[in-house]
Amino acid sequence: VELPNLYLVKLYMYDLSKGLARRLSPIMLGKQLEGIWHTSIVVYKDESFFASGGISSCLLGGTLLGPPDSVVDVGITEVTEEIFLEYLSSLGESLF
């Protein structure tokens, strides 16, 4: 019996304010914000995210944002990279 390939899926979280939202939001907004978040999905050694041009991808760690502030293990998938990329492409054409 051959087991399918399993791929780890992670959520990378970047605070675009670099900590300023946490410090200044109580003063400016009257409530606490933990950050101003940009997120990406990491799977197959690629990082996929939404940007001004729509859905984009780069090699893991290839964004201009530096290392993520937080990494969340989402789980695993059996979906192949080819199917995942086709799905992202279809989202880009229909929704974004």
Asked whether residue 35 is domain-assigned, the answer is yes
The number of distinct structural domains making up the chain is 1
Could you tell me the CA-to-CA distances from 82 to 21, 74, 87 in Å, in that order? 38, 20, 9
Asked whether residue 28 is domain-assigned, the answer is yes
Residue bearing the bigger pLDDT, 76 or 4: 76
pLDDT value at 3 more than 60:
no
Asked whether residue 1 is domain-assigned, the answer is no
Q: Which domain holds residue 51?
A: 7-93
What integer is the mean pLDDT of 45-49?
Answer: 92
CATH number of the structural domain spanning residue 84: 3.90.1720.30
Q: Which residues are bridge partners to 42 per DSSP?
A: 10, 47
**H-only helix segments in 1-96:** 20-29, 81-94
Asked whether residue 60 is domain-assigned, the answer is yes
In the structure, what pLDDT confidence band is assigned to residue 96 with cuts at 50, 70 and 90?
A: low
In the structure, what pLDDT confidence band is assigned to residue 28 with cuts at 50, 70 and 90?
A: confident
Asked whether residue 2 is domain-assigned, the answer is no
**Cβ-count burial of 52 within 10 angstroms (0-12 exposed, 13-18 middle, 19+ buried)?**
exposed
23/21 Cα distance (integer angstroms)? 6
